Structure 1
Amino acid sequence: MIFLPPGGAYCRDFLRLEPMQRYDSGATPIRNGDAVDYFTYRGIEEWMRGFVTAANILSAKSGDGDVTKGKDLYELMPELFEYCRSHRNDIFSDAATRFLTSQKSAGVPK
């Protein structure tokens, strides 16, 4: 079974949304023309939040239950974009799984 976030079935789809990170802080007003991409990006962010939550629940059964090692979602998104740049043809959910696995095995510091 494959679970796909809205607007980002593949890493290559997700990459077009990278400029929307500028709105993560809430300090920059959304420009005309960015609204659709912004809300698509936010949908993927929230999808990732749920994905990480599920991964933490599964990890709690066999480990510490914190696959991101204390990193906030906004810290992870740039790293996920970086990961997707080198895995453009991956299905996004597969990329998210591999990305989180790489975070966990890398021993990301708090």
Structure 2
Amino acid sequence: MQKALKNAVSKAVDGNTWKKFTNPSAGRGKTAFPKGQAEQEGVGVRWDYDGEVTKADGVFHKFQMQPNAGKVPSSIKRWREANGGTHAVMASVLVKKDGTKDDVEQGLKEAAESVEG
């Protein structure tokens, strides 16, 4: 599972993709990344935008990491089947608003590492 999630995180911070997390254009409840079905199957999980959260150390964008449908890595498929399907939340992700690529990578990695299964 962790190998598949590490792969997903690396795809999410590849190139300029990380900017979708620091300044999301997706509406609340909509997928920030990945968008297309083929890309979703390749990544295995998706991050749905869940609004802004204000904490003592700043404003953060919140995302729900969820398993994708279709041909995803077998470890993610097993988690999906055991935990309620494609709408089950694997982890919540907080990314600093207008943050850096490192902020995105840190938030996504922390969330991925918190997933058990």
> TM-score category by the smaller chain?
0.3 to 0.5
Q: Which has the higher relative contact order, 1 or 2, with Cα contacts under 8 A spaced 6 or more apart?
A: 1
TM-score normalised to structure 1 length: 0.35
Q: Quick check: which has more Rg, 1 or 2?
A: 1
Greater strand percent: which structure?
2
